[in-house]
A = this chain, B = another copy of it.
Amino acid sequence: MAAKSEQTRQLVANVALKMFREIGFEKTTMRAIAQEAGVSVGNAYYYFASKDELVQELYIQVQDEHATMAAQALEGVQDLAGRLKAVLHSGIDVMAPYHQFGSDFIATAIRPTSPVNPFGEASTAAREASLAIFRSAVEGSSPAVAKKLRGDLPELLWLAYMGVALFWVYDRSEGQRRTRKLIDGAAPLVARGLSLAKIPGVSKVFDDVLGLVRRVKEDS
Residues of A that sit less than 8 Å from B by CB: 103-104, 106-108, 110-113, 119, 169-170, 173, 177-178, 181-182, 185-186, 189, 192-193, 196, 199, 201-202, 205, 208-209, 212, 215-216, 219
Residues from chain B with a CB closer than 8 A to the CB of A216 are: 178, 181-182, 185
Beyond A205-B189, A216-B185, is A111–B107 a contact (Cβ under 8 Å)?
yes
Give, as a whole number of angstroms, the nearest-CB distance from A74 to chain B.
Answer: 23
Contact B178 A205 (CB under 8 A): no
Cross-chain contact of A215 among B170, B181, B196, B212 (Cβ < 8 A) = B181
Residues from chain B with a CB closer than 8 A to the CB of A202 are: 196, 199, 202
Contact B107 A110 (CB under 8 A): yes
Beyond A111-B107, A182-B216, A201-B196, is A189–B208 a contact (Cβ under 8 Å)?
yes
Contact A212 B196 (CB under 8 A): no
Rounded to whole angstroms, the CA-CA distance of A182 and B113 in the bound complex is 24
Rounded to whole angstroms, the CA-CA distance of A205 and B197 in the bound complex is 13
Rounded to whole angstroms, the CA-CA distance of A201 and B196 in the bound complex is 8
Residues from chain B with a CB closer than 8 A to the CB of A178 are: 216, 219
Give, as a whole number of angstroms, the nearest-CB distance from A23 to chain B.
Answer: 16
Rounded to whole angstroms, the CA-CA distance of A22 and B170 in the bound complex is 32
